[in-house]
Structure 1
């Protein structure tokens, strides 16, 4: 994956202390990754970098929304997202990103690219089950929802099925002891 220059932070020229970097992420960012799950995106990423003598501390904070399709009715809606992440960048002999929140870069490096961390934070902030808020509160009026309600088993039918218990289970119930 080609790195985007806007997400490269040259930390060599920075003074010791805290520095703030902000990015506005849109749909174009996800097109770069060929990630087609979102219809649109509007996310603000704030990165607070604290430069110390022997290491760098980065605090990522994302907030905004992504437009996705509902898993039940396939209607698009804006899903609010928020996420935070802390990363410690240390210097060592060779590049190592095996640990989730510690990144080791070679001693001669003068910049760090945070593009992959931003991408993962946004993707992981979206819930795995995507349900339109109108479905949850009942305010959405959709033909698909009406059809789903028609096809779902009614409560009366399910209660009748509960009373039809196979008589072979009765002998097994006798083996249970009272607790």
Structure 2
């Protein structure tokens, strides 16, 4: 995959201490990754980059809105997302990203591309079941919801069935109360 230049941090020229990076993510970012689950995206990414003498620490925070399809009605809606992630970058003999929150890069490296971490952080912030907020509060009117209501099994709530029980159970209930 081709690396996007705007997500490359050249840390060799940076002074020791904290540095702030901000990114505005739109739909074209996900098109680059071939991810087609979003109709539109407007996400703010803040990265707090702390350069220390022996390692680098990154704190990612994302917040924004992605337009997705509802899993129940297939209606598009805006899903708010929010997530954060900490990454420690250490220096070693060879590249190693086997750990979730630890990245080892070779000693000679002078830059770090963070586009994959931003992509995964956003995608993992989406709920597994996407439900239109109009379904939960009852304001969404759609043909699919009407059809689901029509085809749903009808539950008869007759209280007399619950109150009347088999007389044989009464004898067993009496045994429970007599033992006390």
Task: Tell me the matched-pair count.
Answer: 165
- Per the alignment, residue 138 of structure 2 pairs with 138
- Per the alignment, residue 86 of structure 1 pairs with 86
Q: Which runs of 5+ in 2 are unaligned?
A: 160-175
Q: Is 1:74 matched with 2:68?
A: no
Query: 1:51-62 maps to which residues of 2 (within 5 A)?
Result: 51-62=51-62
Q: Is 1:46 matched with 2:63?
A: no
- Per the alignment, residue 119 of structure 1 pairs with 119
TM-score for both structures, normalised by structure 1: 0.87
Farther-moved stretch of structure 1 (138-147 vs 23-32): 138-147
Write out the 4+ residue segments of structure 1 that deviate beyond 6 Å after TM superposition. Answer: none
Q: Which runs of 5+ in 1 are unaligned?
A: 160-177
- Per the alignment, residue 2 of structure 1 pairs with 2
Q: Distance in 1 between matches of 2:150 and 2:75?
A: 19
Quote the RMSD (CA, aligned, Å): 2.1
Q: Distance in 2 between matches of 1:154 and 1:38?
A: 36
Q: Distance in 2 between matches of 1:11 and 1:91?
A: 13
Query: 1:139-178 maps to which residues of 2 (within 5 A)?
Result: 139-156=139-156
Q: For 1:68, what is the secondary structure of its paired residue?
A: strand
- Per the alignment, residue 63 of structure 1 pairs with 63
TM-score for both structures, normalised by structure 2: 0.87
State the Cα distance separating 1:142 from its structure 2 match. 1.1
- Per the alignment, residue 175 of structure 1 pairs with none
- Per the alignment, residue 18 of structure 1 pairs with 18
State the Cα distance separating 1:24 from its structure 2 match. 0.4
Q: For 2:99, what is the secondary structure of its paired residue?
A: coil
Q: Distance in 1 between matches of 2:136 and 2:106?
A: 50
Q: Distance in 2 between matches of 1:85 and 1:3?
A: 21
State the Cα distance separating 1:143 from its structure 2 match. 1.3
Give the greater-gyration-radius structure (CA): 2
Q: Is 1:97 matched with 2:113?
A: no
Q: Distance in 1 between matches of 2:145 and 2:125?
A: 26
